[in-house]
Structure 1
């Protein structure tokens, strides 16, 4: 019953707006962002009004999994190879972000778009071959 009233009111407001108007076309998006903003604001306000009063030494430790941290482990430098693998992952992740939309419209775009994407993939593969040849992915 309540949902029918809310949904009918929503469509009444949308009908008042002119069809084809940018405000009318994006009205549901504006409502969604308004709700997201309201829920976020309400959550932050409630957490500020009712903070957790339980404190313990375990909450101030870096890890709460029961494993005690050792000081000599915290002073070691993080191996650079982890960053290299993360960067390679990001590069190929970005490649996928460009590859999926291209694959959807590849037939309509013609040969030039195909050659552009082929060049893009070749450049990425040359970089990957360089890292592979320099043995950047081998763990020691």
Structure 2
């Protein structure tokens, strides 16, 4: 059984290695170029407003992103379960039913708090 996950472990080690190498190289060779052309319009032709870079985004942007991630991760857990639903038996069905019910309660809470309404 543990040997079945050997490729997954190798993959995660490779991802961790590439991430650490990338972070180390970006720390060794930082870019400190201050150039007015950095804020010039490109591709879309829209002039970048530099004062927007100094202000904070409203909290609502982060809240919507967080809610999206939570419900997007739900699909990540549901898809493999659906692929093997017949083989895993009734216990797994009830376990996933509980998982979906908990997410539905979270969805109702978010809806009641008005996080899904954009103003």
TM-score range, shorter chain: 0.5 to 0.7
Partner of residue 69 from structure 1, selected from 35, 42, 49:
49
Query: Which residue number corresponds to residue 105 of structure 1?
Result: 84
Matched, 1:82 2:48: no
Alpha-carbon distance in 2 for matches of 1:106, 1:133:
32
Please list every run of 5 or more consecutive structure 1 residues that lacks an aligned counterpart in the other structure: 1-21, 38-55
TM (normalized to structure 1)?
0.53
TM (normalized to structure 2)?
0.61
- CA deviation after TM superposition for structure 1 residue 94, in Å: 1.2
- CA deviation after TM superposition for structure 1 residue 63, in Å: 5.2
Please list every run of 5 or more consecutive structure 2 residues that lacks an aligned counterpart in the other structure: 19-34
**Structure with bigger gyration radius:** 1
Q: Give structure 1 regions of 4+ aligned residues with deviation exceeding 6 angstroms.
A: none
Calculate the aligned-residue CA RMSD, in Å. Answer: 3.1
Partner of residue 71 from structure 2, selected from 88, 92, 103:
92
- CA deviation after TM superposition for structure 1 residue 74, in Å: 3.4
